[in-house]
Structure 1
């Protein structure tokens, strides 16, 4: 009888150890269960150098790993400041699994207040994945994220907002491919869990960046191409640090963590009863360098033939008028004066 009791006690203890989270090793440093650590990862390229600030949260229970990037575009402030809030919102003492959070992927773009590109090498980080270990500074940043964060993730989230000239609607998004139905379906569930009214489907069927011998270009595409359910947040506009957008980013990530079983929310998860799915987007570009005058704002419902704006030369002569090519929601419109030939000035979302 005593032997049976001892066996039962041993099994209970062993099961407790099995459920407990082990230490997590990141960049040769041990992160103990129930703790978080901050890292400044140096990226050195001969004459140039930068770093990537990363926070790693290791929970108290075994679980999966979520990778998150903010600041891939360093002028997109709402996600960056949302990530700062997450330092305090993600409690590793209540966490199951691991969260690896890149606080600012493009530090030089952030410090240089540079939209889209890094002032160090003129590269757009979100057109550079999977990067190069021995490439330019931006290529090395992309390579580190690809090989040391995305490669370790079971789920992946990249957080963006409208860059300096972009008036943008708030939305969640997920990557989808007909050859990856289960991964796509999981991504859709994750995107819906964020709690946005609108969810964009990034359909990758037939896209060159999905080919094995082609670069993935986009941060989230690199994760999806590796077979990881992958989603985006787009929340914020015009590079403005608006508090409601920052709070929405933070709340959406906490929603996701609750949905995935990483971290229970203190309150009920925000759920949208009938989110609007968007699978088709229509882009209109400027045919000239010059000055753009928007006639609408992001979120407006437009009908085919409606004027959206016009482009002038530097003497006020109208060179081009932009009209809505379809009915739909104005997902994005350039709302600052400069415009370049070939640059997209409007994006209309066709509502499913």
Structure 2
């Protein structure tokens, strides 16, 4: 049985597009938009996914622009693009999860062929659609209540040569920060960028955007980073985009959670450095009375903030990366 079913809608030179279906019965009826670009010369295969969280519009817009870029510039190899993975949540503006089963695909890698809709879809994308990819790129950034710094994530494995290549790929982005997850980290697992390297496959994840609205700076961040990777792989020969940001390397980040349900008044922004004990924001209860302050537990770089003032106890409010000593 063929695992993937492609319905080609159009073709223009090296570019073809249409809908992608899956033979797996759990995914019956799902048809994802796709783009394929093939050069006449053999070379590496680059796989690009966006829209795992369907309000992260800068990433999805960058994926569409990358389609046109590679259709024009590709000299060798191939590029495959899924511009919106969480199609069931697209028009309902679902935050974080797939409405079919209420699960967050971002933490389900490497997938499960025996699971519910979301883990099966992740499995099929990683192990069927992208199984031959030399590099897998997962683009994210800025759901409806989030402000996310422009940062990149990659997983180190302890294999020196493999990790050097992974770093090289991640550093093609001009980022506020590059999270090089250490070999022994366990609190940030389940993303494709964390799990594929343990299977010997290179993967990079990029974040950048805010509040589900277009931001040209963040669109360019995603676009330029992937275009630079294409050049590094030898797919194109265009000039690389330059770097102007700090590109601060960190090796993990942790959640700062809401201690109460109520109101939160942020004092910091994504991309900002904070000192240990610095106030991240103030808290008020549902009556508007003071409920204390939220303080930074260590010196860090703010990677993400929830910027909606109504919060739930235990909610992930801030991602804070410890700064090197």
Q: TM class by shorter-chain length?
A: 0.7 to 0.9
| Alpha-carbon offset, residue 344 of structure 1 | 2.1
CA distance in 1 between partners of 2:132 and 2:174 (Å): 26
Shift in CA distance, 327/48, structure 1 to aligned 2, threshold 3 Å: same
Aligned pair 1:41/2:14, yes or no? no
In the TM superposition, what is the alpha-carbon distance from 1:59 to its structure 2 partner? 1.3
What does residue 263 of structure 2 align with? 291
Deviation by residue 1:271-309 (Cα, 9 ceiling, x = unmatched): 459732112434321122222221221122222221111
Distance 2:292 2:258 in 1: 8
Residues 311-326 of structure 1 correspond to what in structure 2 (within 5 A)? 311-326=283-298
Residue 32 of structure 2 corresponds to residue 52 of structure 1: yes
**Aligned-pair Cα RMSD in Å:** 2.9
Whole-angstrom CA distance in 2 between matches of 1:66 and 1:47: 24
Could you tell me which residue of structure 2 aligns to residue 309 of structure 1? 281
Contact kept, 8 Å, 2:110 with 2:195, in 1: the verdict is yes
Q: Verify the 8 A CA contact 1:45 1:137 in the aligned structure 2.
A: no
What displacement does 1:124 show?
0.8
Instruction: Return the offset for 1:28.
Output: 7.2
**Measured at CA, do residues 290 and 208 of structure 1 come closer, stay the same or move farther in structure 2, by a change above 3 Å?**
closer
Structure 1, unaligned runs of 5 or more: 1-25, 210-215
Q: Which moved more, 1:282-291 or 1:250-259?
A: 282-291
Q: Give the Cα separation in 2 of the matches to 1:142 and 1:204.
A: 23
Partner of 1:245: 218
Which among 207, 215, 229 is matched to residue 256 of structure 1?
229
Measured in 1, the distance between the counterparts of 2:310 and 2:240 equals 44
135, 145, 153: which is aligned to 1:173? 153
Correspondence for 1:3: none
Give the alignment's TM-score, normalised by structure 1: 0.81
Query: Which runs of 5 or more structure 2 residues have no equivalent in the other structure?
Result: none
Return closer, same or farther for 1:125/1:96 CA change in 2, 3 Å cut-off.
same
Instruction: Report the structure number with the largest CA radius of gyration.
Output: 1
Task: Name the stretch that deviates more: 272-281 or 303-312.
Answer: 272-281
